[in-house]
Structure 1
Amino acid sequence: MGKLSYMKLKGSQNLRLRLLLSTLSSTPILIDDIRADATWPGLRPHEVSFLRLLEKVSDDCVVEINETGTKLKYKPGIVMSGRHLVHDCGTSRSIGYFLEPLVVLGLFGKKPLSIRLKGITNDSKDPSVDTFRSTTLPMLKQFGVPSEGLDLKIESRGVPPHGGGQVILSVPIVDSLKVSSQFENTMIHAARGIFNRLLPDVHIFTDHKAGEQAGKSPGYGISLYAETTSGCVISTDTAVSYARGEDEGELEDEKKELSPPGDVGEEIASALLGEIEQGGVVDSTHQGLLFLLCALCPQDVSKVRVGKLAPYAIEVLRHIRDFLGVKFVIKPDPSTETVILKCVGCGLKNLSRKYNGTHNILGYMASVKNGDLPEDVVLEILLRLPVKTLLQLKCVCKRWYALIGSSSFVNQHFSQEAIKNTYLFGITDLMRNDMLLPFAALMGPLNGVFCVVSISGHMALLNPAMRQFKPLPLVHPYVQPHLSSYDDLLGFGLDPSSGDYKLVSIQYFWNEEMDVPHYPSLVSVYNSGSDSWRHFEDVDLVNSSRCAYRSLCNTYLNGVYYWLTEFNDTDVAILAFDMSSEKFQEIQVPDCIKSKEGDLALYDGSIALLSCDLDKIDKCVDVWVMKKEGCWTKILTVGPFQDIKWPLGFWKNSEVLLETGTSLLTLYNVYTQKLRTVEARRKENGFFIYWVFSYKESLVSLKGEGNKCMLWDTSSDFVKDFFK
């Protein structure tokens, strides 16, 4: 039930329409052979720009494009909209290309939409921003869209080839739609001359822009519209400018003289008369949008009359049938030479606005538990909810209890991009006895689960989101009486092959009789599946001459745990432990690290090594990244700094976390090159240990047959005893 099925399409035709309907209907699509045989194959710049626009107004939208651009996989998300958004439409197509689908999406968003669009406002290919304001917006009002909050403000104009125009589109949100019942004066004079033969009251005004408001290219255009006695608006427009071109030389080769304004005025006026002659409630340019709005209406009959069906409108009807399951009844009217179309709408509801607050979600989901929505829609909604809400929804019915607790749902929920990562600091003071959780080590998180180690050496797994706490059995290896443990390495990971959590412990011993280190060391591995430890001896790479370089110089990635270690106080290397094979291996570090202090961290999905020469007054931190085993690349150097004790890791990739000489935490932004202090509650003269990690809540349960797992409560006697 959780596997997504994609509607498979071919070709580049009507890509914008397909993406719009995919988003409205929550239908993932897979499009192949996008201009595969063309000289310039793949997606065009305006199509890529439209995909980026969808990502800006949606949450959890996934776009995958292959290297050639001939294959597109699109999984729609929830339309969030929002205010103060900005999008550069480029110069491949005008702003009008983006406005029509954007206004429809905005109606069904979670929040009202306010977005600034930059680019070309007027050209001869797409409807102009003037036509959109004078014709498209009034048409929306016929479908119950409120006038308040529906607006297009033209701040500056721009024509091809360089654009430079800017508009601000504002769109309110609706629960659902309602059923439809029924430049140069010579150019203006020429257009008025055509109309004055028919009627005297013709009003045409100029909107001359200068300076920055005139855009980056010279040109002019005209937009005409006529309003019928029943309130319908018919429009046409065009613009005259130099041709688009990436190279200035191409522009020089174009014909420098623009079309005469008089000819343009007569041509566009005649075009408007042609649209009026065809009859209907909209012009041919708006037929497709009209049919889409009818299809989105409640499940009642919509009836519209239009002129001759435009080719694009016919394609819209076909895609509406495929995506929304709405079929139109088409009946020609010979007496008026028009076409009457009827349909029963799909009744699209704005579910996005209902996801506002936990109480609204619980109430809404409780109302649909009895099959009001299709199973796949319910699943998509549940996958986007936080853990706390899902735990409450498990009590709604047995079916949801089983679904939310299933391993497939848990895995899908954790992989959802809608559940965001949170970056956290961990801090402990080993000199204090009044800390709420006086742990000595904090490892993870892995799938939302931490491993905590108390000062006394007790270990436990912790899932804060589920509020589950699972103490681990104690390590009880046989140790000879004359040996004592003097150091250990701990590593917490996930076995990719079994899905079990594993904890590896390397114990180093001291021979008290001979006053020397003892070999061999002892390796113990805990497996959450069996809830038990296994012990290994005579591990070649784990010997008495190797010790931890620093207790926190370790990290985990993709089933392997890494420690930065040293041999005989001189040679530095990485010790790696594979959680699946339970084998150790050694990884060399760059030669320059051997004489410097270092730390291990994660950077952009790879193992990173931060090195710093602490003997210098002005200290620089070098960042090395290991893309494949043993191959290091220095990608960054930050500094110099004077009061630096140790580099600790990364904060959201863009900031380096540093510990100062007074044990304060400082963040250095690699882009702005500025430092900021992290506020942390500390006491003076403490012995501090810091952690930084990316946390994402999960539904992973620590309960298992025969395993002791309890509710996480810092006030309980058990938790207090554990951390003593």
Structure 2
Amino acid sequence: MESLPEDIQYDILLRLPLKTLLACSCVCRKLKTMICDEKFKTRYLEPSLLMLFMTRDMDSGPHWLFDSVCTERGQHTVSAPIRGWICVQSATKLRLYNPIANKILRLPVSLAGPDECLFGYDEANGVFKVLGFFNSSFKVYTVTSGNGEGSWRPIECEDPHMYVIPSDTNPPLSVTNALCKGGVLYYAAITIPYHRTKIMSFDLNSEEFSVNKLPEGFILDDDSTMVNYNGKVALVNDSATELQKTGGFKICVRNDDSGKWELERVVIPDWKNKFRPHVLTSFVGTLGTGELVFTAPTSWPRGGSEYVLYYKTGSLGLSGTFLLEGEDIGAYHSVRACLNHFECLFRSTT
């Protein structure tokens, strides 16, 4: 292959499956350089749907799809996937995990924290960063080689606040109620000392905080969920109940051009006729291909089957995929849907 012109080599690499690329990068330095090139990454990456499964067994504790990264009991928090990586935090460990390449980067923790973490990608500098909440202070960890070799840097914030932990904390796995878009983290927070809920943003390049003003008529509460809506950052409130009653739901969407948040309403034709009154399904975001994605509320004890529903505007109806079926899956389990996951073997540094 090395005798071929470089543009033909490039085209061949784009057609290879991910695991073959991983093998190529291990045996040939030139191919590794091509594969790790930013232009190649951009062209190769295509979003898919990443599902994080959890089943709860009262005798032996929770069982995870990613056993190698979640091996201890207790509460775990998982970030939305970013460029193939997820951030997993427990009481004593903080790790970045690539489920496709099966790679783990261990980050330093101590008795001082961090209490909570948010994971993002600094597009300007091409590095992953973790925003840590340490009691009443904030620190940033820049991921270079991982495995605890770096350190947390303190940063200033003129608006004291705490990160709002997702209200669904009963299962031992929760997904951070935050999104990273364009090198900026967006997340729900509570002000100190007045305990008012608001949306904060953190620029991963300048490492500066900002307060986002929401429109009148949208109340931020414990049921508010941050989602990716057609490539934009958005908030929804208890969409499961609203869908059940009206066949639609309100959504608060951030306008990328103006930076303002605007209220919209999403209606799914014939929704009420397709679902029994007692079946609740929540909106969890949109795929890069435009489909709206719905799953059952994650904290409900239930059995029988798990499903994901897709709807594309203008289509004839909903399409569904059954993820788990049968009575053997247990009386209490949940599925975490993380959308637009990129199957990526690349590290943050090359």
Normalising by the smaller structure, the TM-score range is: 0.7 to 0.9
The separation in 2 between residues aligned to 1:624 and 1:601, in whole angstroms, is 10
Shift of 1:463: 2.4
- For residues 693 and 582 of structure 1, do their structure 2 counterparts lie closer, same or farther at Cα, with a shift above 3 Å needed? same
Choose which of 312, 318, 329 in structure 2 pairs with 1:674.
318
Shift of 1:615: 7.1
Task: Report the 3-state secondary structure (helix = DSSP H, G, I; strand = E; otherwise coil) of the residue aligned with 2:219.
Answer: helix
* Per-residue Cα deviation, 1:331-364 (whole angstroms, up to 9, x for no partner): xxxxxxxxxxxxxxxxxxxxxxxxxxxxxxxxxx
Gaps of 5+ in 2: 168-173
Q: Is the 8 A contact 1:469 1:702 kept in 2?
A: no
Aligned partner letter, 1:658: T
Which residue of structure 1 lines up, in the alignment, with residue 63 of structure 2? 435
The separation in 1 between residues aligned to 2:187 and 2:196, in whole angstroms, is 14
- For residues 430 and 649 of structure 1, do their structure 2 counterparts lie closer, same or farther at Cα, with a shift above 3 Å needed? farther
Which residue of structure 2 lines up, in the alignment, with residue 380 of structure 1? 11
What is the number of residues matched between the two proteins? 307
Q: Is the 8 A contact 1:658 1:665 kept in 2?
A: yes
- For residues 382 and 675 of structure 1, do their structure 2 counterparts lie closer, same or farther at Cα, with a shift above 3 Å needed? closer
Aligned partner letter, 1:547: V
Q: Is the 8 A contact 1:414 1:699 kept in 2?
A: no
Shift of 1:556: 1.3
* Per-residue Cα deviation, 1:244-298 (whole angstroms, up to 9, x for no partner): xxxxxxxxxxxxxxxxxxxxxxxxxxxxxxxxxxxxxxxxxxxxxxxxxxxxxxx
The separation in 2 between residues aligned to 1:375 and 1:441, in whole angstroms, is 43
Q: Is the 8 A contact 1:547 1:565 kept in 2?
A: yes
The separation in 2 between residues aligned to 1:570 and 1:644, in whole angstroms, is 30
Choose which of 16, 39, 42 in structure 2 pairs with 1:415.
42
Which residue of structure 1 lines up, in the alignment, with residue 170 of structure 2? none
* Per-residue Cα deviation, 1:386-411 (whole angstroms, up to 9, x for no partner): 23222333466xxxx22222277442
Counterparts of 1:19-58 in structure 2, within 5 Å, are none
Which residue of structure 2 lines up, in the alignment, with residue 591 of structure 1? 216
The separation in 2 between residues aligned to 1:648 and 1:555, in whole angstroms, is 12
Q: Is the 8 A contact 1:646 1:658 kept in 2?
A: yes
The separation in 1 between residues aligned to 2:39 and 2:320, in whole angstroms, is 37
Aligned partner letter, 1:557: K
Q: Which has the higher helix share?
A: 1
Task: Report the 3-state secondary structure (helix = DSSP H, G, I; strand = E; otherwise coil) of the residue aligned with 1:593.
Answer: coil
Which residue of structure 2 lines up, in the alignment, with residue 573 of structure 1? 198
Q: Is the 8 A contact 2:56 2:332 kept in 1?
A: no
Shift of 1:672: 3.6
Which residue of structure 1 lines up, in the alignment, with residue 253 of structure 2? 625
* Per-residue Cα deviation, 1:607-642 (whole angstroms, up to 9, x for no partner): 122233777772642233212322324152345665
Q: Is the 8 A contact 1:495 1:579 kept in 2?
A: yes
Counterparts of 1:628-707 in structure 2, within 5 Å, are 628=256, 629-634=259-264, 636-638=266-268, 642-644=278-280, 646-651=282-287, 652-660=289-297, 661-662=300-301, 665-667=307-309, 669-670=311-312, 671-674=315-318, 676=320, 678-680=322-324, 682-686=329-333, 688=334, 690-701=336-347
Q: Is the 8 A contact 2:161 2:189 kept in 1?
A: no
TM-score, with length taken from structure 1: 0.38
Counterparts of 1:85-124 in structure 2, within 5 Å, are none
Higher relative contact order (CA 8 A, sep 6+): 2
Which residue of structure 2 lines up, in the alignment, with residue 608 of structure 1? 234
Aligned partner letter, 2:164: C
Choose which of 101, 118, 121 in structure 2 pairs with 1:491.
118
Q: Is the 8 A contact 1:424 1:692 kept in 2?
A: yes
Choose which of 20, 26, 38 in structure 2 pairs with 1:389.
20
Which residue of structure 1 lines up, in the alignment, with residue 107 of structure 2? 472
Q: Which has the larger radius of gyration?
A: 1
Q: Is the 8 A contact 2:144 2:349 kept in 1?
A: no
Task: Report the 3-state secondary structure (helix = DSSP H, G, I; strand = E; otherwise coil) of the residue aligned with 1:523.
Answer: strand
Q: Is the 8 A contact 2:230 2:286 kept in 1?
A: no
* Per-residue Cα deviation, 1:357-383 (whole angstroms, up to 9, x for no partner): xxxxxxxxxxx43x2x32322232223
Q: Is the 8 A contact 2:301 2:331 kept in 1?
A: no
Shift of 1:443: 2.0
- For residues 425 and 522 of structure 1, do their structure 2 counterparts lie closer, same or farther at Cα, with a shift above 3 Å needed? same
Q: Which has the higher strand share?
A: 2
Which residue of structure 2 lines up, in the alignment, with residue 522 of structure 1? 137
The sequence identity of aligned pairs, in percent, is 19
- For residues 646 and 491 of structure 1, do their structure 2 counterparts lie closer, same or farther at Cα, with a shift above 3 Å needed? same
2:192 equivalent to 1:560: no
